[in-house]
């Protein structure tokens, strides 16, 4: 597969992703409360997901062999994996992201400075997938590795990387809680809480647009409960 065909393939994937987002928005728009439309939209989403899965399956090996295009490839299929993850298709997400993880590691070996953020994102999303599959030991390993990357990158660009640090701490805390590692869970979630409180103060639009204030209150209660449960008898 030459570069022109690869770019054409990527464009088709991006178009499928964009169409998926448009259909999803329309299906949940308050002015489009039509059961027939919702049924049609669901069929369209299933079709788009199948199209993405087929393209991944048919072209993965060929595209992965094109060394110069691997960064674009990894970024694209990270997006595909995230789409599966957000829709709850954890098995499909896992299959895609495990391959992407191997390639992102090879990119980091060749140019750590350029590709470390990409590896961090892959690990962060893969941790979420394993958490969704109740595979918390694996999730903890991925979150901890991602955490190391974000801690390294935050001083360079806090605006970009602190939100990732917060999300990773949250996921890590949730998986540690499921493994009954309560003290560690409380530490991770408490650090997440402190970070998010500061981000809300610095960027008020975050709380307004995402309902973060409610999440912070729930997180505060969770940390307090974990602290009590983790205390020695």
Collapsed DSSP state (helix, strand, coil) of residue 124: helix
Q: pLDDT for 129-153, tens place per residue?
A: 999 999 999 999 999 999 999 999 9
Q: Indicate whether this model's pTM tops 0.95.
A: no
Of all residues in the chain, what percent carry a pLDDT higher than 90? 33
Of 71-80, 124-133, 216-225, give the range with the top mean pLDDT. Answer: 124-133
For residues 101 and 116, give the distance between their C-alpha atoms in angstroms, rounded to a whole number.
12
Contact predicate 130/155, CB 8 Å? no
Phi-psi bin for 211: left (phi > 0), alpha (psi -120 to 50), beta?
Answer: left
Residue 1 is predicted with a pLDDT of 46
Pairwise pLDDT comparison (211 vs 188), residue with the higher score: 188
Domain boundaries, the chain: 66-229
Dist. CA 162–CA 206, nearest whole Å: 13
Average pLDDT, the chain: 78
pLDDT at 228: 82
Q: Which fold has domain 66-229?
A: 1.25.40
Can you tell me the distance from the alpha carbon of 157 to that of 56, in angstroms, rounded to the nearest whole number? 33
Residue 6: count of CB within 10 angstroms of its CB: 19
């Amino acid at each position: 597969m030459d570069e022109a065909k690869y770019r054409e393939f990527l464009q088709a994937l991006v178009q499928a992703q964009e169409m998926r987002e448009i259909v999803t928005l329309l299906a949940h728009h308050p002015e489009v409360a039509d059961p027939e439309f919702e049924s049609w939209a669901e069929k369209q989403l299933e079709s788009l997901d199948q199209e993405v899965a087929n393209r991944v399956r048919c072209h993965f090996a060929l595209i992965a062999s094109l060394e110069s295009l691997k960064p674009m490839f990894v970024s694209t299929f990270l997006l595909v994996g995230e789409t599966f993850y957000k829709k709850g298709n954890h098995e499909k997400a896992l299959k895609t992201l495990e391959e992407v993880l191997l390639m992102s590691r090879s990119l980091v070996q060749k140019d750590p400075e350029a590709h470390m953020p990409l590896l961090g994102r892959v690990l962060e999303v893969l941790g979420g997938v394993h958490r969704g599959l109740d595979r918390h030991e694996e999730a903890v390993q991925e979150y901890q590795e991602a955490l190391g990357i974000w801690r390294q990158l935050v001083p360079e660009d806090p605006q970009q990387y602190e939100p990732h640090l917060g999300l990773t701490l949250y996921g890590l805390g949730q998986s540690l809680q499921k493994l009954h590692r309560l003290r560690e869970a409380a530490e991770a979630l408490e650090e997440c809480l402190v970070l998010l409180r500061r981000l809300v103060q610095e960027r008020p639009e975050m709380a307004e647009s995402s309902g973060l204030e409610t999440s912070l209150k729930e997180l505060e209660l969770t940390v307090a409960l974990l602290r009590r449960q983790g205390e020695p008898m």
